[in-house]
């Protein structure tokens, strides 16, 4: 198991890509620190993983709350002694066309998808610097690369993630810390659960592989990037999109 002995902190871990990542990392030997907004969805995930033998520390919180996230990191260090991998996975959407998007919609997405990633990484990074090692993985999106109708706020936040990833790779590389981003395409998660089947079919037709991705497809890339197999990869953005940006 290539993540044996690793301590991984995953935000947005109760569903979708975050949930798949938690299960993938557990299967590869990692101990987990999980957070999500809602205890009623997070706690069953944590309980199920513990039942399978994975050490888990879980806390319901808003990643935009610096104090709450700091407390979680402190608790993780107290229990496990270290954090080897930070996966900034949590994200939201508040879609609207440019001319009708409100300040509240724009700010909400930027606060969770961009500013919270900055805060969470700023809180965890000193612990990694002190140990001289660590991996930081950020959730971007293919919309950061080509835009998307009705997603000014989301695309801007995910483009910012790419910029921060490359900047942190430069700053933290000399400290022994690798920083990378994953840019998923159309992934079948609860975020698109309300999309009509006709629209989903149209989305799949835009992908050369003619299908939507599964959360596990992204989780496996996270696991690779977190492992020693990726020890010389830093500052990159890996698209997991079935070729849709070709």
pLDDT at 92 over 80: yes
Q: Which of 73-87, 110-124, 190-204 comes out lowest in average pLDDT?
A: 190-204
For residues 22-27, average pLDDT: 98
Distances (CA, A) of 14 to 25, 40, 52, 180, 183: 14, 9, 17, 22, 20
Decide: residue 99, CB within 10 A, 0-12 exposed, 13-18 middle, 19+ buried.
exposed
3-class SS at 11? strand
* Sign of the dihedral defined by the CA atoms of residues 201, 203, 205, 210, in that order: negative
Check which CATH number belongs to the domain holding 31 and give it.
3.40.50.720
pLDDT tens-digit profile of 159-175? 999 999 999 999 999 99
pLDDT class of 196 with cuts at 50, 70, 90:
low
Residue 194 lies in a domain: no
pLDDT at 202 over 80: no
Distances (CA, A) of 96 to 93, 139, 182, 199: 10, 21, 24, 17
Contacts of 82 (CB under 8 A, 6+ apart): 7, 127, 131
* Residue with more model confidence, 82 or 202: 82
Q: How far, in Å, CA of 98 to CA of 102, rounded?
A: 9
Residue 242 region, left (φ>0) first, then alpha (ψ -120 to 50), else beta? left
Residue 2 lies in a domain: no
pLDDT at 72 over 80: yes
Residue 137 lies in a domain: yes
Farthest CA pair distance, the chain: 51
pLDDT-above-70 percentage for the chain: 97
Domains in the chain, number: 1
15-18: long-range contacts, CB 8 A cutoff, minimum separation 24: 15/41, 15/189, 15/190, 16/187, 16/189, 16/190, 16/191, 16/215, 17/89, 17/139, 17/184, 17/187, 17/189, 17/215, 17/218, 17/219, 18/87, 18/89, 18/90
Residue 198 lies in a domain: no
Residue 178 lies in a domain: yes
The residues annotated as belonging to the active site are: 154
Residue 193 lies in a domain: no
Residue 151 lies in a domain: yes
The encoded tokens of residue 140 equal: 């971007």
pLDDT at 188 over 90: no
Segments forming the whole domain that contains residue 219: 7-185+215-238
Q: Which residue has the tokens 């969805």?
A: 41
Residue 243 lies in a domain: no
């Amino acid at each position: 198991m290539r993540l044996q002995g690793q301590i991984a902190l995953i935000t947005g871990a109760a569903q979708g890509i975050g949930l798949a990542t938690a299960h993938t990392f557990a299967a590869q030997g990692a101990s987990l620190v999980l957070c999500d907004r809602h205890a009623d969805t997070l706690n069953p995930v944590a309980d199920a993983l513990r039942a399978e033998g994975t050490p888990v520390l879980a806390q319901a919180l808003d990643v935009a709350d610096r104090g709450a996230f700091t407390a979680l990191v402190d608790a993780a260090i107290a229990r496990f002694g270290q954090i080897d991998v930070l996966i900034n996975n949590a994200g939201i959407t508040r879609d609207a066309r440019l001319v009708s998007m409100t300040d509240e919609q724009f700010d909400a997405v930027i606060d969770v998808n961009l500013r919270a990633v900055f805060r969470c990484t700023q809180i965890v990074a000193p612990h990694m610097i002190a140990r001289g090692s660590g991996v930081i993985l950020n959730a971007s999106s293919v919309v950061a690369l080509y835009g998307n109708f009705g997603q000014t706020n989301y695309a801007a936040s995910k483009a910012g993630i790419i910029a921060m990833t490359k900047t942190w790779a430069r700053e933290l590389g000399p400290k022994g810390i690798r920083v990378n981003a994953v840019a998923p395409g159309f992934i079948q998660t609860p975020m698109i659960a309300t999309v009509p089947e006709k629209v989903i079919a149209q989305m799949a037709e835009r992908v050369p592989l003619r299908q939507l991705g599964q959360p596990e497809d992204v989780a496996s890339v996270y696991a690779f990037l977190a492992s020693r197999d990726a020890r010389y990869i830093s500052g990159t953005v890996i698209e997991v999109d079935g070729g849709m940006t070709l």
